[in-house]
Amino acid sequence: MVKRYAVILAAGQGTRMKSKLYKVLHPVCGKPMVQHVVDQVLQLGLEKVITVVGFGAEQVQSQIGDKSEFALQEKQLGTAHAVMQASPYLKDREGVTLVVCGDTPLITAETMKALLEHHLSTRAKATILTAIAENPTGYGRIIRNGDGHVEKIVEHKDATEKERMIKEINTGTYCFDNKALFEALTNVSNDNAQGEYYLTDVIEILKTKGEIVSAYQAPSFEETIGINDRLALSQAEKIMRRRINYSHMMNGVTIIDPEHTYISPEAEIGRDTVIYPGTVIEGKTIIGDDCIIGPHSEIKNCVIGSGTTIRHSVAHDSNIGHHVTIGPFAHIRPSSAIGDEVRIGNFVEIKKSTFGKGSKASHLSYIGDAEVGEDVNLGCGSITVNYDGKHKYLTKIEDGAFIGCNANLIAPVTIGKGAYVAAGSTITEDVPGNALSIARARQVNKENYVDRLNIKKNS
Ligand code: UD1
Ligand code: CA
């Protein structure tokens, strides 16, 4: 079998983004665009994947990790120069090389596979992935001769008025015979509008040598858009969002309004779960079957069981069980583990705490650094006082305990099994199991106090 390699171009700064963040690291649906490209390329099972890095090399490398090898392009002299940086890895190898830009995040493994197959089925030395663009501004144009064969690619900036009318564009993805590619690259000059070494010139060079150059048209232009500015970024985001939401709907998830539901490409969602508008599901979140999520909830890196409802709430980096009810307006902060059948009500904040099965904090509470057992009832306004300004301390509330409204539990402290804490108490010492603890000033009623006050005033 023919050996297959890939070169991913990701060294550019992305001047047109006008950003501190290097272009290929800008996220699309929460995942950096270059990572989208790498993930799709990796599905092809190639012999070698080399990513060319330059601007933000360290960040780009640490984003991609060890799934790719890296070539450094110190100066960004153009796309041909970028590919040349991979020559120490590839130059003398027999085989086929796929070249993809790190700023085309919507390209799919299927299309790249089809391009590779098309390339191998012809005797071409190069095959360009092209697309028909309604508005081709900014893209390189495919120039074909009278017989319809590809002659060359002309960059938008170098194109004549007539060439600019052409709607067939270069998507920036290509297949090359590896040896022919590296040979042709040595002949590329920078005599053009941008003073850059264009990879696209390789096409004309091969053609002049009498080699066969072929083109393969992508199923849709949408899939091939290149992100050069924030406008294109928002378009890519929209297309990716539709794609992700479509696949969840096909898998049995109800999305009430897919245009206003934002789901990360890494998320998994079970059947018959209903997602309401304004919901943002980020990172590696796994949601079970029959859940109701949203409206207006933000969930990041959480594992959520089945039959759980989360309305108008935020949950990050936490585990949430089955048949849990959260919200409206609750905040589950990282490292929390919420057991099955728990109820977390409005204006409750939970941080780094565990909740056993069936426990409830229904209104206006802060529970931080706490271990809450099963069937515990935390009354309205109950609070763990976990921080003394320097250190954080643990609060333990054992099974079946009942914490009255507006109680302060000053950590470190343990409330024993089945114990009661009276409303308004400030608990500073452990409460034994089954005890009732009252820690508040006794009420004093001063009879006729107001009358006495009035007599004094009038005398
Ligand atoms: C390029 C193509 C154009 C095509 C378009 C598709 C060239 C000359 N032009 O134009 O025909 O229609 O893509 O989206 O190839 N890069 C480097 N090093 C460099 C320059 C660029 O690594 O020195 C990387 C960039 O990070 C980017 C990719 O190559 O990921 C494409 O570069 P960009 O400047 O965006 O090229 P376009 O002008 O979009
Ligand atoms: Ca581009």
pTM over 0.85: yes
Q: Which one of the ligands is nearest to 100 CA?
A: 1
Query: Does residue 280 lie in a domain region?
Result: no
Question: Could you tell me what percent of the chain has a pLDDT over 90?
Answer: 97
Contacts with 315 (C-beta within 8 Å, 6 or more apart), sequence order = 297, 298, 299, 300, 302, 304, 326, 331, 332
Please check whether residue 330 lies inside any domain of the structure: no
Q: Would you say residue 38 lies in a domain? A: yes
79 Cα: distance to centroid of ligand 1 (angstroms) = 6
Supply the pLDDT for residue 456. 83
CA atoms of 395 and 353, how far apart (whole Å)? 9
Ligand 1 atom nearest 103 alpha carbon: 30
199 lines ligand 1 (CB under 6 A): yes
Instruction: Judge if the beta carbon of residue 236 lies within 6 A of ligand 1.
Output: no
Cβ-contact 91, 71 below 8 angstroms: no
Residue 176: which pLDDT band, with cuts at 50, 70 and 90? very high
pLDDT at residue 307 tops 80:
yes
In a domain, 29, yes or no: yes
**Mutation to probe ligand 1, out of 26, 83, 101 (largest number of atoms < 8 A from CB):** 101
* Cross-strand pairs, 424: none
Find the 92 Cα to ligand 2 centroid distance in Å. 28
Reported as a single tens digit per residue, the pLDDT across 209-232 is: 999 999 999 999 999 999 999 999
**Which residues are within 5 Å of ligand 2 (an ion), measured at CB?**
103, 226, 228
**How far is ligand 2, taken at its centre, from the CA of residue 141, in Å?**
13
- Classify 48 in phi/psi space as left (phi over 0), alpha (psi -120 to 50) or beta: beta
Say if ligand 1 is within 6 A of residue 17 CB. Answer: no
Q: How far does the chain reach from its first CA to its final CA, in angstroms? A: 111
- pLDDT bucket at 1, cuts 50 / 70 / 90: confident
Token reading at 225: 């858009």
Is 388 among the domain residues? no
**In a domain? residue 204:** yes
Residue 51 Cα, ligand 2 centroid: separation in angstroms? 16
Tell me the mean pLDDT in the region 94-100.
98
| 17 in a structural domain | yes
Per-residue model confidence as pLDDT tens digits over 13-52:
899 999 999 999 999 999 999 999 999 999 999 999 999 9
How many independent structural domains does the chain possess? 1
What CATH number has the domain bearing residue 100?
Answer: 3.90.550.10
Range of the domain at 153: 4-224
* Residues, the chain: 459
Q: Say what the pLDDT of residue 459 is.
A: 77
Nearest CA to ligand 1 atom 29: 9
Residues identified as active-site: 363
Does residue 171 contact residue 37 with C-beta atoms inside 8 Å?
A: no
Is the CB of residue 192 below 6 angstroms from any atom belonging to ligand 1?
no
Pocket test for ligand 1, best of 79, 153, 235 (most atoms within 8 A of CB): 79
Quote the mean pLDDT of the chain.
Answer: 97
Establish if 67 belongs to a structural domain: yes
In the predicted model, is pLDDT for residue 354 greater than 80? yes
Would you state the pLDDT for residue 50? 98
10 lines ligand 1 (CB under 6 A): yes
Helix (H, G, I), strand (E, B), or coil: what is residue 97? strand
Please answer whether residues 232 and 225 qualify as being in contact, where contact means their C-beta atoms are separated by less than 8 angstroms.
yes
The torsion angles phi and psi of 209, rounded to 5 degrees, stand at -75, -5
Give the confidence band of 238 by pLDDT, cuts at 50, 70, 90.
very high
Going by C-beta distance under 8 Å and a sequence separation of 6 or more, which residues neighbour residue 111?
129, 173, 218, 219, 223, 224
The closest-lying atom of ligand 1 relative to the alpha carbon of residue 104 is 14
pLDDT for the residue numbered 25: 98
- Assess whether the C-beta atom of 32 lies below 6 angstroms from ligand 1: no
The per-residue pLDDT for 118 is 97
